[in-house]
Amino acid sequence: ELRTLRMVLAVFGKGCLAASFNCVYLYTGELYPTVTRQMGMGLGNTMARVGSITAPLAKMAAEVFPALPFIIYGAAPVAAGLAATLLPETRNLPLPE
């Protein structure tokens, strides 16, 4: 049985999920211009909440394909964490106006 591997992937996915959720607050405020910053923050927060609301539906998908929740809970946060590495560096740069 792959119990240890499943546990490691679950913990790694949870960490990537936390990192991607923090990126919403950190990068959104720095990347959007001042006039649209709050709209971007609200949109990012809304999409994060939609993901939280629909997350329990992935568990129900186990009735169709037993490995699907593990794939969703593991792959989606890892992909989001990797996508966050593509965001531009904003250190010592002025905020866009």
pLDDT tens-digit series, residues 13-48: 788 778 777 877 787 788 888 889 889 888 888 988
Q: Which pLDDT does position 2 carry in this prediction?
A: 84
Amino acid identity, residue 50?
A: V
- pLDDT confidence bin for 49, thresholds 50/70/90: confident
Residue 28 forms part of a structural domain: yes
Residue 95 forms part of a structural domain: no
Cα(66)–Cα(60) distance, rounded to whole angstroms? 9
- pLDDT confidence bin for 60, thresholds 50/70/90: confident
Residue 97 forms part of a structural domain: no
Q: Tell me: pLDDT of 66 over 80.
A: yes
For residue 75, give its domain range: 3-84
Q: Which pLDDT does position 20 carry in this prediction?
A: 72
Q: How many domains does the chain have?
A: 1
Confirm whether pTM is higher than 0.75: no
**Residue 48 burial class via C-beta count within 10 angstroms: exposed 0-12, middle 13-18, buried 19 and up:** middle
Residue 96 forms part of a structural domain: no
Inter-residue contact 44 to 28 (CB < 8 Å): yes
Q: What is the largest CA-CA distance in the chain?
A: 55
